[in-house]
Structure 1
Amino acid sequence: MFGYRVPQADQAMLISGGKSSGTSPFRVVTGHGAFIVPFFRKAQFLTLALYEAEVEEPCVTKQGIQLSVRAVIAAKVGNDSESIVNAGQRFLSDQGQMATLTGRIFAGHLRSIIGSMTVEEIITERQKLAGEVLDGSKGEMAKMGLIVDALQIQNIDDGGLGYIKAMAAPHNARIQQAAQIAQASANQAAAEAEQQSRRAQAQFERDTAVARAGYAAETQSAEAKAAQAGPLAEAQSQQEVINAQTDLAQRQAQLRQQQLVAEVVKPAEAEAERVRILARADAEKTQIQAAAAASSNRVALDQALIAQLPQIVEKAANGLAGANVTMLNGSDGLSEVVSGLASQGLAIFEALRGDVGSAKKTQDSTGETKAIETRDDHADHDDDGSSNTAWPKA
């Protein structure tokens, strides 16, 4: 439509030529359009977009050390009508001056703030430096209708003096020491890990070799057993045959032994028993016969002794004939002498009978019948040395 103007989203339209309200020389229109009467009204546009201003200034610190500081400021015209009016009155004809003037303002405040701080504070407290610069320039920027969205300290340099580097040296040394220690620890850990890996690999190789050797031994053992299976089976079969033959031979030997016992030993024992029985019977027969013969010989001997007893007594009496014997008690003493002679004859008779019995026993034990002979020591000798009396043989 003819005469109707609309500002862009980041612009403010300033309409001049009409009656203004208050002290403002023009009417501010933002966000919507307005009808401009040709020839009677004039419309101009002020940018509300963000602009950037760079500052790089040599500054002297509280310690007298010169630093070169570079900062970046992001600023714009305020959104309220008052800020738009103030900025329009100052920068509407040359809006590029806003960045230049902003940089100069911040450069002055930056030199002022750095002059009250040490290098260490500037290095370690950059945010504090930025905040103090913003606070110091806020009033001046508001008068020009400008606001600062951000201030960033980009670089601080001592111009080759080496102060900042020297200040960082202890920390750098500690950092390097810690880095070296960390590197050494890492190297040691890596070496230990490598050694552990090598040991594990060697252990694995050893276990593998042992397992392979075991498998090979088992394979060889199985092959040897398989190769020996045939000969072992044959040997076992032969051993079983030999055992069976041995058992058969033992049974045959036992059977032969039983046959020998039945055919030879038993008949021989029976024959021996028969011979012993016959021998005992013969011995008993001979003994009985010897006893009978001895009994008959004893009777004949007793009769012979009895027949010769008077002669024995007579010879004993003849022995006393030449002896000098004194009779103390007369006829009684004589009777005693005669009785003594008779008793002596009986004693000789009993002695002879005993010798005959001994001869009989000897005959019984030997099984042979022997003649009983009289011995010289059984005969009575005369005191004068006469010859012994001869006895008949049994």
Structure 2
Amino acid sequence: MLGYRVPAPDEAMLVSGGRHGLKDAPFRVVTGHGTFVMPLFRKVRYLTLAMQESEVSETCVTRQGISLNVRAVIAFKVGNDPESIVNAGQRFLSDQDQMSVLTGRIFAGHLRSIIGSMTVEEIVTERQKLATEVLDGSKEEMANLGLSVDSLQIQSIDDMGAGYIAAMAAPNNAAIQRQAKIAQAQADQAAAEAQQASIRKQAEFARQTAVVQAQYKAEIDKAQAEAAQSGPLAQAEAQRAVIAAQAELAQHQAELRQQQLVSEVIKPAQAEAEKVKILAIADAERTRIAAEAAASNNRVALDQLLIAQLPQIVKEAASGLAGANVSILNGADGLGEIAAGLVSQGLTILESVRHGVGAPAAPGAGPAAIGNDATANDTTGNGKGPA
């Protein structure tokens, strides 16, 4: 938008012309937001609020009259409040690089002043104290300029070859070296003692080994001497022991073979015989049960079968008369006698079949019954039945 200006996050926008927020301020301070600036009637300038750095390398004289070259680094920036921005803007807006130069000169002066009240020993051993006193001494001046200091670091302190700092450190260096030598001597002594102890242990081990070897050799020599003295007796004893061992082995093998025969021959034969016996008993029991069944239930079934075939037997007997030249003389009585004869013949055949299978004969049944039941006359009329 024409005339609308916005400062950067690390900048302060200074608008001159018109009314201002602060009393006696020559411009209006805008930070963190934009504002409308009327063209031609207002003028806008920007002041950096970013962190800046200034280095100081100053030769200072201590309270002891010893010259020291001190190097320090100051980190600073323009204050965030409007009053500090107005103060810094009035002083550095045209040449903002002058902030670093002026800050370095201010701190150099305070360094000379404070170091002049301290000894070399205090400066070397208490650097933080030196930095704090320099900051406190320069705080008011920096505030008047609109600047705030974030930190002051003493980088180095050098006596410029005078050797005072080195001499001051010499006792400590000597003490440290002495302690280092003592520690090294103690370490060497401990190593030597450890080496001597190792040598003594090795010697003792060698001695014990020699003693054990001597004892072992003595026992071997003694055993060999006893063996040489025993001679034939020892051999005979050894042979006897061998024979006894062989006999014991043969007996053990015989026992094993006997057990093998029992398990491979006798036991299977006994098992087979027992199997045959069990099968024979089972077969006999089956035959007995079958016979009993045939004598009871099966006989009844057979009789029923024969009785069922009786009509067919009578029919076959009657068919034999179909082609015969037979005359019935006595009428209806003669015909009844012939039928009775046929039935009697069927019963006779039935009894014969039953006798053939071992069944008991029916009471009063027999072949003679056939001739008594019916009489047939031929054409001659002599009263004799058919031949």
Q: Please state which band the TM-score falls in when normalised by the shorter chain.
A: 0.5 to 0.7
Query: Displacement of 1:23 after TM fit?
Result: 1.7
Which residue pairs with 2:273 in the alignment? none
Matching of residues 64-143 of structure 1 within 5 Å: 64-143=65-144
Which secondary structure does the structure 1 equivalent of 2:44 belong to? strand
Secondary structure, aligned partner of 1:69? strand
Deviation at 1:98, TM superposition (A): 0.6
SS in 2 for 1:148: strand
Post-superposition offset of 1:237:
5.8
Distance 1:51 1:137 in 2: 17
Deviation string, structure 1 residues 129-171 (Cα, Å, up to 9, x no partner) = 1111111110000000111111111111111111111111112
2:12 is the counterpart of 1:7: no
Describe the SS at the equivalent of 1:15: strand
Q: How does 1:141-220 map to 2 (within 5 A)?
A: 141-196=142-197
**Whole-angstrom CA distance in 2 between matches of 1:41 and 1:221:** 128
Matches within 5 A, 1:330-345: none
Q: Secondary structure at the match of 1:155?
A: strand
State the secondary structure of the residue aligned to 2:88: helix
CA RMSD of aligned residues (A): 3.7
Match of 1:17 in 2: 17
CA 1:9–1:180: 2 relative to 1, 3 Å? same
Residue 42 of structure 1: how far off its partner (Å): 2.2
CA distance in 2, matches of 1:208, 1:115: 79
Q: 1:72 to 1:233 in 2, by over 3 A?
A: same
Name the CA shift for 1:38/1:160 in 2 (closer, same or farther; >3 Å): same
Query: Which protein has the larger Cα radius of gyration, Structure 1 or Structure 2?
Result: 1
SS at match of 1:180: helix
For structure 1, list consecutive stretches of 5 or more residues without a partner in the other structure.
225-230, 241-394
Cα deviation, 1:201-237, whole Å, max 9, x if unaligned, reads: 777888899999999999999999xxxxxx8874216
Distance (whole Å) between structure 1 residues aligned to residue 50 and residue 216 of structure 2: 85
Q: In the TM superposition, what is the alpha-carbon distance from 1:115 to its structure 2 partner?
A: 0.8
Deviation by residue 1:305-336 (Cα, 9 ceiling, x = unmatched) = xxxxxxxxxxxxxxxxxxxxxxxxxxxxxxxx
Task: Provide Cα deviations, 1:178-217, integer angstroms capped at 9, x if missing partner.
Answer: 1211222233334444555666677788889999999999
Matches within 5 A, 1:180-329: 180-196=181-197, 234-236=235-237
SS in 2 for 1:46: strand
In structure 2, what is the equivalent of residue 376 of structure 1? none
Q: Which residue of 2 aligns with 1:356?
A: none
**Aligned-pair distance for 1:65?**
1.2
User: Does the residue aligned with 2:24 lie in a helix, a strand or coil?
Assistant: coil
What are structure 2's unaligned runs of at least 5 residues?
A: 226-231, 242-387
Partners of 1:30 and 1:220 in 2: how far apart? Answer: 111
Quick one: percent identity of the two aligned structures? 71
Distance 1:56 1:184 in 2: 45
**What is the deviation of 1:37?**
2.2
Cα distance between partner residues in 2 of 1:147 and 1:218 = 99
Distance 2:77 2:83 in 1: 14
Residue of structure 2 equivalent to 1:33: 34
Output the CA distance in 1 between the equivalents of 2:217 and 2:13. 100
Partner of 2:272: none
CA distance, structure 2, for counterparts of residue 17 and residue 58 of structure 1:
47
Shift of 1:41: 2.0
SS at match of 1:116: coil
Distance, in Å, in 2 between the alignment partners of 1:142 and 1:177 is 52
Aligned length: 240
How far apart in 1 are the matches of 2:9 and 2:32?
6
Q: Secondary structure at the match of 1:74?
A: strand
Q: Secondary structure at the match of 2:12?
A: strand
Where 1:151 maps in the other structure, the secondary structure is: strand
In the alignment, what sits opposite 2:294?
A: none
| TM-superposition CA deviations, 1:49-99 (whole Å, max 9, x none) | 111111111111111111111111111111111111111111111111111
Q: Distance in 2 between matches of 1:34 and 1:49?
A: 21
